[in-house]
Structure 1
């Protein structure tokens, strides 16, 4: 029986498993999607948990497993060509909706874009690519780390739910901020 070993550290993208090669491959296949989609907060929690545990006997280091890019776009997004933001479907144009507000941060831009997609266009399954397309449509500089910007909007403000990267949504605090607290241009 051949003995295969793999080590996976979620912070660095590595898992440990030992056994025959079919077993090790099945463990890797189960975790490789998680490696590509794990949020920085979860990675920090795993790292903190590992630091709190006593060190075990030293083991041979395995070669790190290379992460593959997540399918369906990159961490900075790509254009969704069939997304109509022009108001052609009877909804208000994104540019008109966006220009109503006095926006002071990318947190607010992210909120406005997700809110518009979810509540004005009734889109389900909003992704980073949809938000990227909104930034491009209104002609605003796209954050260089758009995915991180969306995560930060969720973590720091609580305005978005980004737990599922294939279905980003506004939260009740986010809706309340946009509908009641965010200043409009006409309020000057």
Structure 2
């Protein structure tokens, strides 16, 4: 006696016709691979393999209650950490004791920054122009905030995201990779309010 089994792909079902043992074996193999791919454990009461021996397989398959598959949320990509493993984190800045901030006061006093984005831009330009640092990190910017006595942003990492996305002064890729953009250079050289010379 030939046994038929219809499986709908949208529901994880295939058509099989043949010997009952062969159909059962193919079905269990298919089911185990499907469940393994979905990482889903079937309830103990469900026995779709016994439906292969019933007279009308389509009715048995359609009358079985549909199980809701729980989906995992997308894993969040970590953006505050540095991929290179340098130990620098934008949301947990540390004081860089090796940064020479002796000339920062004179450099910073030339400007009248209105917001944290402009302060970050000034600090980056100081480190690039005066200290010749090619890739300053967020810890060094934090050190500049401390050296000038300015209020440190509560959401320190967010200040960099805002400087990048809202103002476009930097291209924030990681806590150790955020170069000044052309827009940042233009703002620094032409639009940034300067204090009158004393």
TM-score range, shorter chain: 0.5 to 0.7
Offset at 1:120?
2.3
Conservation of the 8 A alpha-carbon contact between 2:88 and 2:176? no
Q: How does 1:1-188 map to 2 (within 5 A)?
A: 58-59=69-70, 70=81, 71-73=87-89, 75-86=91-102, 93-186=103-196
Gaps of 5+ in 2: 1-32, 40-67, 82-86
| TM-score (normalised: structure 2) | 0.56
Q: After the TM superposition, which parts of structure 1 deviate over 3 Å for at least 4 consecutive aligned residues? A: none
8 Å CA contact retained: 2:163, 2:170: yes
* In 2, Cα distance between equivalents of 1:111 and 1:158: 10
- Distance verdict in 2 for CA 1:103–1:75, change over 3 Å: same
User: Structure 2: how far apart are the matches of 1:17 and 1:85?
Assistant: 56
Q: Which runs of 5+ in 1 are unaligned?
A: 4-15, 19-56, 87-92
SS at the partner of 1:160?
Answer: coil
Cα distance in structure 1, aligned partners of 2:90 and 2:174 = 15
**CA 1:61 to 1:184, structure 2 compared with 1: closer, same or farther past 3 Å?**
closer
Aligned residues: 128
Counterpart-to-counterpart distance in 2, 1:157 and 1:61: 35
Structure of higher CA gyration radius: 2
Deviation readout 1:127-166 (Å, 9 max, x if unpaired): 1101100000111011011111011011011001111321
* Distance in structure 2 (CA, Å) of the matches to 1:147 and 1:72: 11
Distance 1:119 1:17 in 2: 55
* Distance in 2 between residues matched to 1:172 and 1:17, nearest whole Å: 47
- Normalising by the residue count of structure 1, what TM-score does the alignment of the two structures yield? 0.59
Q: Please tell me whether the aligned partners of residues 117 and 159 of structure 2 are also in contact (alpha carbons under 8 angstroms).
A: yes
Within 1, Cα distance between the matches of 2:111 and 2:88?
31
